[in-house]
């Protein structure tokens, strides 16, 4: 049983709900629970898409600084692996994921959002990587995922200064994909994820894997990753169903089984 995270599945959409009042600080226990939750939704055949949500007031305000303050270099050498493992596990979910951001997504909270495929934020939300003010840098993927998302120069400015980013600017620079009124963030996230329920799950998984892996290699290697994934889908029932339906009935009418 998880103490601070719950997983609820409804109509094909799983919600990973973080609940550690008052600010959803990401201590070592929460990090471990994120790994367990990510693995659970990854293998659940009833889950087509995933929402990561911190509740109506706050997404996650960062790591547990009180816990980290007493740690030595030796302690952190061990702990830092887990710090990255939990966002790696979230990023590795082979299904579409969205962070539904209310209140603050700072430090580790911002890194959780960065590990999702999409980010929907409240129009009064605040994001940022303020670790520099503690004499450290982001350690759960922020230096890498932020740079890939908004570009290296802008990522350096945000990380070097540690400044907070308001929702409108976050949308303008591509840090989030959509804004919504604070009381509608979760509903908008569900609407976005509902597009993938009943879709060709193996094709979506292949597309996500090809894009993510392709970002880490040169173009020619990325094209080979795409070619192999594309070819493999010709062994699936969904490919046959999709093409048969297209030929017989036109586009957009196929029924997929996820196999």
Taking residues 110-122, report their average pLDDT: 98
Candidates 111, 157, 209, 248; catalytic one: 111
Kindly tell me the burial class for residue 24, based on how many C-beta atoms sit within 10 Å of its own C-beta (0-12, 13-18, 19 or more).
buried
d(CA 250, CA 255): 13
- Count Cα atoms within 13 angstroms, Cβ side, for 229: 19
pLDDT at 1: 64
Does residue 169 have an active-site annotation? no
pLDDT at residue 29 is higher than 70: yes
Query: Domains, the chain, ranges and CATH?
Result: 5-194 (3.90.226.10), 201-249 (1.10.12.10)
Is 226 catalytic? The answer is no
pTM of the complete model: 0.94
Out of 33, 56, 131, 224, the active site residue is 131
Q: What confidence tier does 259 reach under pLDDT thresholds 50, 70, 90? A: very high
Question: According to the model, what pLDDT value does residue 56 have?
Answer: 95
């Amino acid at each position: 049983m998880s103490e601070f995270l719950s997983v609820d599945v409804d109509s094909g959409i799983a919600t990973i709900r973080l609940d550690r009042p008052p600010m959803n600080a990401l201590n070592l226990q929460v990090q471990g629970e994120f790994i367990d939750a990510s693995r659970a939704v990854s293998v659940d055949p009833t889950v087509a898409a995933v929402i990561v949500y911190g509740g109506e007031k706050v997404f996650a305000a960062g790591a547990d600084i009180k816990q980290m303050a007493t740690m030595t270099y030796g302690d952190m050498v061990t702990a830092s692996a887990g710090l990255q493992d939990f966002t790696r596990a979230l990023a590795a979910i082979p299904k579409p994921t969205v962070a539904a951001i209310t209140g603050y997504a700072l430090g580790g909270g911002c890194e959780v959002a960065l590990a999702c495929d999409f980010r929907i934020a409240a129009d009064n939300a605040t994001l940022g990587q303020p670790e520099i003010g503690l004499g450290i840098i982001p350690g759960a993927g922020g230096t890498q995922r932020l740079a890939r998302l908004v570009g290296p120069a802008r990522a350096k400015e945000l990380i070097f200064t540690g400044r907070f980013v308001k929702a409108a600017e976050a949308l303008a620079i591509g840090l989030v994909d959509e804004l919504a009124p604070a009381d509608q963030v979760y509903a908008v996230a569900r609407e976005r994820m509902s597009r993938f329920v009943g879709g060709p799950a193996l094709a979506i998984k292949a597309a996500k894997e090809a894009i993510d892996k392709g970002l880490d290699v040169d173009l020619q290697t990325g094209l080979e990753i795409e070619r192999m994934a594309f070819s493999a889908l010709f062994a699936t029932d969904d490919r046959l169903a999709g093409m048969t339906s297209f030929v017989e009935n036109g586009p957009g009418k196929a029924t997929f089984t996820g196999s």
